[in-house]
Copies of this chain bind each other. A is one copy, B any other.
């Protein structure tokens, strides 16, 4: 087990060890029953005192994550079992693999998706748009005729940076929303997930400081942790990232990169105010750091003009802009884009080459006609009309059925509602009951890189029809009610 420790933060080493082991276990990367290294050997491997490791192990034991059997060793205790793969893992000839350390500290998003998709039918967890609202028939007809005329694209490696025609169309599309982006400043990626990876892998190494919002997108935490980053969190309020707290943090630590979802933030749905956008750019200038602006939700908007992207306000190459096309066009094509200015661009293209030599031309050509502004305007108008009604429906349902003690956001864009339960009620405790009722939601705690809040739920309304939404929210409300009633009964005096 390889744990990257950062000795230059005020996060204690024992806490870093705790977090790293807890992450691996909650990602399913350390399986139930697997043995942890002894305190002595881990302290030696990490070059820290035995007291430090002991402290981390004690807290893990207190939290019922591991347990120590006297004289036998320390073992993972989580109830989560690896049940999604039926290959033989218990063959003893393969046991040597267990001792091979890896450099994959966390894969929470992966684990979450496995756990959520196995059992449920009402996916309040899926922040994707229902296929009936996506232009799959138009795209398929286009592909069908395009590929007959252009079979040659199957036999060539496309440009590493992406198809020039497609980059050009994307640049035009991004320019139309006020960005100044040239086609040669764009890299086509396998979804925005790969774009985040390219940036992280090029610029972030062990101990580099990355600032993320708390909460934020789970899979982005996975990536930055993978690179060994020290992640510092800045909370989000109704106007987005708390820039005042970010600034205070920058006084002590110089971040190399700030990852943000300023527009219809995932998971809370908030929008960073114009004032804070300006301040954030100033901070990036003052501290010579990058801002990674992840902007997948701008198109799913219920207001006339979403605030301009940070990228459009950036004159000095601080903002690396990431847009996925999965949410509003085609998740199946796995197309994302990364836009950056300056000399860093070549380093990112080289990283793309090292990663996979370039994305397939087929999926790029498939989306080409659909990133044109005219099509997009018409498509988004009709899609958003329906999604707006769904959003209003879920808000109405929540108001009607949820207990009073529960609060939620009313987002002006994006597919997510952020629910806040009473502080004593953990979302995790509802999961079992919800799954028994075929409902999946995202527990908010997975959206924090550290010190999670446990009383949040992310509900996505974009992939469900009216009936599923109604069934889902009514049932979920009943479950929440039952927990609150139980607590009230416990607290009420016995007459």
- Chain A interface (Cβ < 8 Å from any Cβ of B): 2, 27-29, 31, 82, 85-89, 91, 93-94, 96-104, 107, 109-111, 113, 128, 131, 134, 136-137, 139-141, 143-145, 147-148, 150-158, 160, 182, 184-185, 189-191, 193-194, 197, 201-206, 219, 222-223, 226-227, 256, 288, 290, 315-317, 326, 330-334, 341-347, 349-351, 353-363, 366
Given contacts A103-B202, A131-B152, A190-B190, 6 further A-B contacts (CB under 8 A): A97-B343, A103-B204, A107-B354, A143-B143, A189-B356, A191-B357
Contact of A136 among B91, B152, B315, B353 (CB under 8 A): B152
Asked whether, in the complex, the Cβ of A131 is within 8 Å of the Cβ of B104, the reply is no
Q: Hey, which chain B residues are within 8 Å of A202, CB to CB?
A: 102-104
**A344 and B87 alpha carbons, distance in the complex (Å):** 11
Once A28-B346, A107-B353, A350-B28 are accepted as A-B contacts, the answer to whether A147 and B155 lie under 8 Å apart by CB is: no
Q: Hey, which chain B residues are within 8 Å of A332, CB to CB?
A: 153-158, 360-362
Asked whether, in the complex, the Cβ of B110 is within 8 Å of the Cβ of A128, the reply is no
Q: Hey, which chain B residues are within 8 Å of A330, CB to CB?
A: 154-155
Contact of A85 among B157, B346, B355 (CB under 8 A): B346
**A436 and B154 alpha carbons, distance in the complex (Å):** 30
Asked whether, in the complex, the Cβ of A356 is within 8 Å of the Cβ of B190, the reply is yes
Asked whether, in the complex, the Cβ of A137 is within 8 Å of the Cβ of B156, the reply is no
Q: Hey, which chain B residues are within 8 Å of A111, CB to CB?
A: 350
Asked whether, in the complex, the Cβ of A93 is within 8 Å of the Cβ of B317, the reply is yes
- Rank and list the top 8 A-B pairs by shortest CB-CB distance, nearest first: A131-B155, A110-B353, A107-B350, A140-B151, A94-B342, A190-B356, A136-B151, A194-B356
The residue in chain B whose Cβ has the minimal distance to the Cβ of A194 is: B356
Interface centre among A160, A334, A354 (most CB of B within 10 A): A354
Once A28-B346, A141-B148, A346-B28 are accepted as A-B contacts, the answer to whether A222 and B354 lie under 8 Å apart by CB is: yes
Asked whether, in the complex, the Cβ of B203 is within 8 Å of the Cβ of A226, the reply is no
Asked whether, in the complex, the Cβ of B190 is within 8 Å of the Cβ of A331, the reply is no
Q: Hey, which chain B residues are within 8 Å of A87, CB to CB?
A: 182, 184-185, 341-342, 345
Q: Hey, which chain B residues are within 8 Å of A333, CB to CB?
A: 154, 360, 362
Asked whether, in the complex, the Cβ of B104 is within 8 Å of the Cβ of A350, the reply is yes
Asked whether, in the complex, the Cβ of A154 is within 8 Å of the Cβ of B136, the reply is yes
**A100 and B343 alpha carbons, distance in the complex (Å):** 10
Interface centre among A97, A148, A222 (most CB of B within 10 A): A97
**A197 and B357 alpha carbons, distance in the complex (Å):** 11
Once A97-B344, A148-B140, A155-B131 are accepted as A-B contacts, the answer to whether A109 and B356 lie under 8 Å apart by CB is: no
**A28 and B317 alpha carbons, distance in the complex (Å):** 20
The contact sample of 22 A-B pairs, CB cut-off 8 A, is A82-B346, A87-B341, A89-B342, A96-B288, A98-B343, A102-B202, A103-B201, A104-B351, A107-B354, A109-B354, A110-B160, A131-B155, A134-B154, A139-B154, A140-B147, A155-B331, A157-B331, A190-B355, A191-B357, A193-B357, A197-B355, A219-B357
